Amino acid sequence: MGCQCSKLSPCCWDSQIKAAVLEAPDVENEGNSEVADIPAFREFTLEQLKNATSSFAVENIVSEHGEKAPNIVYKGKLENQRRIVVKRFNRMAWPDARQFLEEAKSVGQLRNQRLANLLGCCCEDEERLLVAEFMPSETLAKHLFHWEKQPMKWAMRLRVVLHLAQALEYCTSKGRALYHDLNAYRVLFDEDANPRLSSFGLMKNSRDGKSYSTNLAFTPPEYLRTGRVTPESVIYSFGTLLLDLISGKHIPPSHALDLIRDRNLQMLTDSCLEGQFSDDDGTELVRLASRCLQYEPRERPNPKSLITALTPLQKETEVPSYVLMGIPHSGSCTPLSPLGEACSRGDLTAIHEILDNIGYKDDEGVANELSFQMWTDQMQETLNSKKKGDVAFKQKDFGMAIECYSQFIDVGTMVSPTVFARRSLSYLMSDMHREALNDAMQAQVISPVWHVASYLQAAALSALGMENEAHVALKEGTALEAKRNATTGQK
């Protein structure tokens, strides 16, 4: 193994007994640079966030524990095509609406490239929701503990902890040193696979700081004594993350420190890292973890000290994160499907031909609850409107198609994403671009993971001259179609 544990310097376990706090000079910290392309914090309406998440559809849940999570996180998309996540708190989490708004607005002032930044909030009736940047490349927990293709490389693990330390230093410099329940689920990866710290953990739900929800085996010792989170508590949690990255497992700090004391570091080090780091690097990272996990809070380093210690350890600094992670990059050229290609070109004739051939097969599974009265009184007329619309659509009589599909939609006894898609294209053919975009978005509300809806949004946005937004929608349609094909085994 590249790091023979028995060769590690004794200082790595001696220092965990009496570690001095590292006093770091100011370092050139690229993680402190604020980002300019993130919109200012704003308040959203509940209706806006319902539209963005397809009425909080189950398909859009991204919480690690799904619907069983105490506060559920959904992915979504705003009207300007910006992808977001929405954290929906349970009704007991924030009884004081004013406190929630104040806290959210305070966190919302932060803007940094090391954070998954908070974009806004919503506080209507009993609803408490936070809106943040969407990070498409999942969590550190996923890549570290539940990897499918390759274990995380040593160089990437070092990058994760440096970026995390930079995020904590930025927050500290802005007066937000407290971070609640720092763990591997709070570290996210953006579209370039760069690690970011979730801004959700910066929210505290009480003014006295009494908030910490985690397994007691990983809780800072002072929290068990006082019930309070301090900046030093955050450093302790940072130490547990260092252990996660060294070991590839989530092991209790007490157990890890016992292994360090007994010089049994082979049990501590991830076997997947064989040959990837030197004895000195291994020694330094274990020493740093030991310092973070000191029993006495005052003996732990501060974020600046962490940056100073971690910066010289960085490896392969010129290699992009997505390469180190083995993640396909969003900037790479993914071959478009015929529909994606037609939408990218704005070839409405080709789109029409494809939609006509697809028919209504993608409507399978869409719930339509109809009472017996609806069946007897309205169904035949409704189906006739749809049938007439289909005939007109096939014959390229798009004005008639719009009229008939509108009659079908207005009755409201059935919902069909395909009808909205067909009316969307009919609007495009009739140079009614805004109406076309609205219908394409409505199709996605009904069927959140339907790639056709994203493609049609791309075509409508391009027709409206919104090329950047069209590119985003096209990319999302491509991703949804690829995921669908992988699930169904299609090529």
For the annotated catalytic residues, the residue numbers are 181
Q: Which residues of 227-239 are buried (b: 16+ CB within 10 A; e: fewer)?
A: eebbbbbbbbbbb
- Render 185-209 in DSSP notation, one character per residue: TSEEE-TT--EEEEGGGG--SSTT-
Q: Alpha helices, DSSP H only, in 396-466?
A: 398-411, 417-429, 433-446, 451-463
Strands (E), 67-212: 72-77, 83-88, 115-116, 118-124, 127-133, 187-189, 195-198
Rounded to the nearest 5 percent, the helix, strand and coil shares of the chain are 50, 10, 40
Question: Do 69 and 89 form a contact (C-beta atoms < 8 A)?
Answer: no
> In the beta sheet, which residues pair with residue 86?
74, 131
Classify residue 180 as exposed, middle or buried by CB count within 10 Å of its CB (0-12, 13-18, 19+).
Answer: buried
Dist. CA 396–CA 391, nearest whole Å: 9
CB 162 within 8 A of CB 307: yes
Q: Note the Cα 44 to chain centre separation in Å.
A: 19
For residues 117, 149, 318, 335, the Cα torsion angle rounded to the nearest 10 degrees is -80
Q: How far apart are CA 229 and CA 226, in angstroms?
A: 9
Q: How many residues does the chain have?
A: 491
The answer to whether the CB of 139 falls within 8 A of the CB of 184 is yes
- Is 368 strand, coil or helix? coil
Tokens of 357: 């051939």
Give the residue among 136, 129, 140, 138 at the shortest CA–CA distance from 53: 129
Q: Supply the Cα-derived Rg of the chain in whole angstroms.
A: 26
Q: The tokens of 131 are what?
A: 């809106």
Strands 127-133 and 72-77: unpaired
